[in-house]
């Protein structure tokens, strides 16, 4: 990747802010954090009031769209009228990307489209067990076809290896751990002295570039992961995932009455790690380094690496369903280029421009994009040339 440009260090350096805000300390300023992470001073466990007062519990309750009312006796889903009305008026603000396809392609004419896709809830439906969140063959083929016409990247909260394994397409770029682990092409020069960049090989042995701005946190995350596994052992349904640069505590299968306990456990562990912070996903608590890096930064980085960051002839499109995707939607609004598309079947506050209801609509949108790109290429090929 082209790293010759001036990427600001994502690891911020204002120690005074560490406990107050989301800022972190570079290891060079904090010798005790750059060595081993073996002994953690254990503090007294807090009370459930901690997670009530800091809003974690409220966030947990609203972290995934509520299911439509289920009439158990008949086992059918009935959408109450007011839900549909609310969704309808929300869509006036965030129109369907399918219904607005012509508008999107009018704007995309003669532009290169760069496609960014989240994984869970976007390419694969949300299911109870994260290990069973598989992508359908039809979706895989839609993504493969899109990548024939548009540079395409997957940007996921999962570890890069895991999402690569789930998607299984070698022609894409992959960013795992919410963009903190980017595997990009080797075709662009990499400044060897860039502190976060390394050359590597992908599972096929092809040379790739890795950008890992949070690599100094790997031992810390590993330690926290192991502590969380141990501490949540007694909570039925809790599951902790190791994403190398961040770790996720799932509570989707935990009885709701035990959610405060899950929150408090995570809160107590985090108290000992001021350089880590918590974000909320869909029925998941995510622990990640306090660095100025997220899916939005990853989009900017990939665009720049592919030399697609300048000029008006590039249209980035990011499709995602989760709160962490908002960072990417925000960046597209800020740089005033491209479109964020939120996947949601319920009204949500978002920085996206358009919406899609579910993964089926995502697939339809990708297929439409491929048909349109094919048509555009054919038009271009058949255009009479002046002699
Ligand atoms: O950025 P993403 O690719 O959307 O990853 C975000 C999290 O996705 C996964 O969890 C979510 O999907 C699971 C499977 O459908 C579901 O069981 C869970 O409740 C959702 O939160 C993944 O397991 C997490 O580690 C990711 O952080």
Q: Ligand 1 centroid to 80 CA: how many Å?
A: 28
Determine the pLDDT at residue 374: 95
Q: How far is the CA of 130 from the centre of ligand 1 (A)?
A: 6
Residue keyed to tokens 């889903």: 77
Please give the Cα distance from 284 to 223 (Å, whole number). 19
For the chain, residues with pLDDT lower than 50 are 1-8, 12-43, 69-76, 78, 189-193
Tokens of 90: 């929300």
| Mutate which of 116, 119, 120 for ligand 1 pocket (most atoms within 8 A of beta carbon) | 120
- Asked if the ipTM is above 0.95, the reply is yes
CA distances from residue 51 to 119, 247, 248, 258, 281 in whole angstroms, order as listed: 29, 19, 17, 13, 16
Which ligand 1 atom lies nearest to the CA of residue 127? Answer: 15
CB of 340 closer than 6 angstroms to any ligand 1 atom:
no
pTM for this one? 0.84
What are 337's two structure tokens? 């280029």
Structure tokens at 49: 């009031």
284 Cβ below 6 A of ligand 1: yes
User: Cα 297 vs. chain centroid, distance in angstroms?
Assistant: 11
Reduced 3-state DSSP string for 244-262: CCCEEEECCCCCHHHHHHH
Kindly list the distances between the CA atom of residue 228 and the CA atoms of 45, 56, 242, 303, 379, in Å, as whole numbers in the listed order: 14, 17, 10, 36, 56
What is the CA(275)–ligand 1 centre distance, in A?
23
Listed residue (149, 125, 145) closest to 135, CA to CA = 125
Q: How far is the CA of 248 from the centre of ligand 1 (A)?
A: 9
Q: Is 250 in the pocket of ligand 1 (CB under 6 A)?
A: yes
For ligand 1, say whether the CB of 155 is within 6 Å of any of its atoms.
Answer: no
Known catalytic residue at 118: yes
Ligand 1 close to Cβ of residue 156 (< 6 A): yes
Q: How many CB atoms lie within 10 A of CB 183?
A: 22
Beta bridge partner(s), residue 276: 289
Residue-level length of the chain:
387
Domains of the chain: 111-213+293-381 (3.40.50.1000), 217-289 (3.30.1240.20)
Whole-angstrom distance, CA of residue 158 vs CA of residue 120? 9
Q: Can you point out the beta strands (E) in 38-134? A: 70-71, 76-77, 112-117
Ligand 1 atom with the smallest distance to the CA of 282 is 21
120 within ligand 1 shell (Cβ under 6 A): yes
| pLDDT at residue number 16 | 35
Q: Which of 183, 185, 137, 142 is nearest to 163 (CA)?
A: 183
Shortest-distance Cα residue to atom 21 of ligand 1 = 282
Looking at residue 384, its pLDDT comes to 85
Task: Out of 118, 120, 268, 309, pick the active-site residue.
Answer: 118
Query: How far is it, in rounded angstroms, from Cα 292 to Cα 296?
Result: 10
Kindly give the distance from the C-alpha atom of residue 325 to the centroid of ligand 1, in angstroms, as a whole number.
12
């Amino acid at each position: 990747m082209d790293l010759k440009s001036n990427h600001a260090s994502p690891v911020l350096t204002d120690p005074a802010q560490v406990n107050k805000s989301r800022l972190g300390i570079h290891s060079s300023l904090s010798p005790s954090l750059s060595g081993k992470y073996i002994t953690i001073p254990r503090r007294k466990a807090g009370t459930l009031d901690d997670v009530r007062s800091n809003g974690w519990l409220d966030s947990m309750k609203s972290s995934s769209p509520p299911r439509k009312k289920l009439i158990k006796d008949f086992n059918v889903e009935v959408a109450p009228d007011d839900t549909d009305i609310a969704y309808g008026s929300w869509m006036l603000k965030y129109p369907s990307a399918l219904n607005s396809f012509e508008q999107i392609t009018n704007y995309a004419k003669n532009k290169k489209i760069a496609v960014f896709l989240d994984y869970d809830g976007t390419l694969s439906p949300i299911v109870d067990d994260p290990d069973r969140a598989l992508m359908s063959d039809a979706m895989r083929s839609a993504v493969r076809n899109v990548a024939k016409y548009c540079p395409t990247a997957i940007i996921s909260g999962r570890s890069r290896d895991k999402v690569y394994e789930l998607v299984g397409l070698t022609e894409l770029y992959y960013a795992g751990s919410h963009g903190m682990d980017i595997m990009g092409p080797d075709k662009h020069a990499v400044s060897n002295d860039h502190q976060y960049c390394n050359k590597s090989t992908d599972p096929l042995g092809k040379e790739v570039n890795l950008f890992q701005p949070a690599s100094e946190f790997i031992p810390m995350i590993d330690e926290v992961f192991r502590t969380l596994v141990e501490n949540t052992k007694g909570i039925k349904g809790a599951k902790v995932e190791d994403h190398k640069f961040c770790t996720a505590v799932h509570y989707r299968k935990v009885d709701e009455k035990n959610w405060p306990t899950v929150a408090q456990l995570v809160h107590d562990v985090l108290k000992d790690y001021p350089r880590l912070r918590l974000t909320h996903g869909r029925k998941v608590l995510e622990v990640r380094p306090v660095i100025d890096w997220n899916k939005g930064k990853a989009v900017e980085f990939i665009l720049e690496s592919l030399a697609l960051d300048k000029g008006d002839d590039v249209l980035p499109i990011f499709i995602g369903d989760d709160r962490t995707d908002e960072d990417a939607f925000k960046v597209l609004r800020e740089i005033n280029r491209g479109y964020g598309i939120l996947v949601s079947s319920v009204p949500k506050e978002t920085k996206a421009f358009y919406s899609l209801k579910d993964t089926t609509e995502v697939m339809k949108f990708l297929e439409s994009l491929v048909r349109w790109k094919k048509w555009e290429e054919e038009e271009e090929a058949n255009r009479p040339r002046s002699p």
